[in-house]
Amino acid sequence: MSRKRILILDDDYNILDALSTLFEYEQYSIVTLSQLNSIDIIEDIGLLKPDVILMDINFGEYNGMDLCLKIKENKPTSAQKIILMSAGDYGHVAFKSKCDHYVQKPFQSDVLLSEIAQLT
């Protein structure tokens, strides 16, 4: 059985490190991106084939909700499972980007793991 792959997009290295440690402990395969300088996220998703994308809403100069909508409105990636996360209270608007789940930071590890498990 192959391990499920999670793509984590966050510009906070502490968050990337903590989430990577958590998911690796739970036997997930992890890929992280801390910036999107000239990277084509649609192409990357096609190459990486993640089971779930965990994306910060405030991702450097990018808006995670805009990126999520771009992914969901692109035919080859429209079925991609995406969880948006943020320290801000964006729950009321996050789902307009067609995300599958939204979690507010700080979050409980068991809650996040449960949401990931539901999507994979």
- The tens digit of pLDDT for each residue in 50-107 reads 999 999 998 777 788 999 999 999 998 999 999 999 988 877 888 899 999 999 988 8
pLDDT of 1: 60
Read off the pTM: 0.90
Rounded to the nearest 10 degrees, how much is the dihedral formed by the CA atoms of 80, 13, 59, 2? 0
DSSP state, residue 100: S
Say which CATH number the domain at 61 has.
Answer: 3.40.50.2300
Of the pLDDT bands very low, low, confident and very high (cuts 50, 70, 90), residue 115 is very high
Q: Which of 15, 13, 2, 22 is nearest to 112 (CA)?
A: 22
Confirm if 41 and 53 have CB atoms less than 8 A apart: no
From 1-15, 27-41, 57-71, 88-102, the region with the lowest mean pLDDT: 27-41
Query: The domain containing residue 83 runs over which residues?
Result: 5-119
Q: How many domains does the chain have?
A: 1
